[in-house]
């Protein structure tokens, strides 16, 4: 979210990643699309793209990104909806939920409902991919605050705190710009590969697999992310 070079990294990822290779014309939903970094590259790959987010500010940024695309304005549908309630029965071939946009609700059942909603919104044969910071990955580096420099000279410090015996995480950010500092904080559920896998199965998905990156590599000791993919039969 904060890295100044993330847009280029995402564009390259979407252009080349085997896990993001779908048939041309696939209807792809970016659920919790945020500032829209995935939208333009997904459209450039030949997909029909919809972005859903709850935040009007994020949707504005996403719209601006689509309007200012290098190859000309990109036709993407943007919708303001809450993932807790959003369903569009059989409307999508692929639903992506990336960059740890899952597990935000205080009640575990609500997070499960998001998976059920995605299942309903997929056409038969459609796939859901959820990309989070897996509990196992986080355990490898938690405790070390991280700082990210932004292009305008400001920087963000991120600090994570484990809550409720590794069930949840609190992430605190401090944005330092010149003499001023602003803070933000979110709490979210943490998932191991086995936990998220089993939630997918309980939500009705089949052929559920875990990966450690969008190349389709295994989720193991060298992974930086946890990606779970399931299919609606």
Ligand X SMILES: C[S@@+](CC[C@H](N)C(=O)[O-])C[C@H]1O[C@@H](n2cnc3c(N)ncnc32)[C@H](O)[C@@H]1O
- Binding residues (CB under 6 A) for ligand X: these are 1, 32-35, 37, 53-55, 58, 82-84, 98-101, 104
Q: How far is the CB of 161 from ligand X (least distance, A)?
A: 17
Nearest CA among 77, 73, 5, 83 for reference residue 37: 5
Relative to beta strand 77-80, strand 206-211 is unpaired
Q: How far is the CB of 196 from ligand X (least distance, A)?
A: 16
Instruction: Find the largest Cα–Cα distance for the chain.
Output: 55
CA-CA distances (angstroms) from residue 201 to 13, 115, 118, 130, 141? Answer: 27, 10, 13, 13, 29
d(CA 229, CA 20) in angstroms, rounded, equals: 11
By beta-carbon proximity to ligand X, the closer residue of 99 and 200 is: 99
Q: How far is the CB of 98 from ligand X (least distance, A)?
A: 5
The DSSP element (H or E) to which 11 belongs, if any, is helix 6-16
Q: How far is the CB of 25 from ligand X (least distance, A)?
A: 23
d(CA 232, CA 227) in angstroms, rounded, equals: 17
Q: Quick one: tokens of 13?
A: 């990822």
d(CA 70, CA 80) in angstroms, rounded, equals: 25
The residue with its CB nearest to ligand X is 34
Q: Which residue has the tokens 């569009």?
A: 88
Q: How far is the CB of 204 from ligand X (least distance, A)?
A: 21
By beta-carbon proximity to ligand X, the closer residue of 146 and 233 is: 146
Q: How far is the CB of 102 from ligand X (least distance, A)?
A: 9
By beta-carbon proximity to ligand X, the closer residue of 184 and 194 is: 184
By beta-carbon proximity to ligand X, the closer residue of 22 and 104 is: 104
DSSP 13: H
Burial class (CB in 10 A: 0-12, 13-18, 19+), 145: exposed
By beta-carbon proximity to ligand X, the closer residue of 1 and 181 is: 1
By beta-carbon proximity to ligand X, the closer residue of 1 and 201 is: 1
């Amino acid at each position: 979210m904060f890295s100044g070079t993330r847009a280029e990294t995402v564009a390259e990822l979407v252009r080349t990643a085997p896990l993001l290779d779908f048939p041309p014309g696939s209807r792809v939903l970016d659920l919790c699309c945020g500032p829209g970094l995935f939208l333009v590259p997904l459209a450039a790959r030949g997909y029909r793209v919809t972005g859903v987010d709850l935040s009007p500010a994020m949707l504005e940024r996403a719209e601006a990104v689509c309007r200012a695309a290098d190859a000309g304005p990109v036709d993407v549908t943007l919708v303001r909806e809450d993932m807790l309630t959003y369903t569009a029965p059989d409307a999508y071939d692929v639903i992506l939920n990336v960059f740890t946009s899952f597990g935000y609700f205080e009640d575990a059942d609500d997070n499960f409902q998001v998976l059920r909603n995605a299942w309903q919104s997929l056409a038969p044969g459609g796939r859901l991919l959820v990309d989070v910071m897996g509990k196992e990955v986080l355990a490898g580096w938690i405790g070390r605050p991280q700082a990210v420099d932004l292009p305008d000279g400001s920087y963000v410090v991120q600090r994570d705190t484990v809550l409720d015996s590794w069930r949840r995480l609190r992430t605190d950010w401090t944005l330092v710009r010149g003499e001023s500092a602003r803070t933000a904080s979110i709490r979210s559920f943490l998932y191991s590969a086995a936990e998220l896998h089993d939630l997918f199965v309980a939500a009705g998905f089949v052929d559920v697999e875990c990966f450690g990156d969008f190349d389709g590599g295994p989720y193991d000791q060298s992974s930086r992310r946890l990606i779970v993919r399931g299919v609606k039969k």
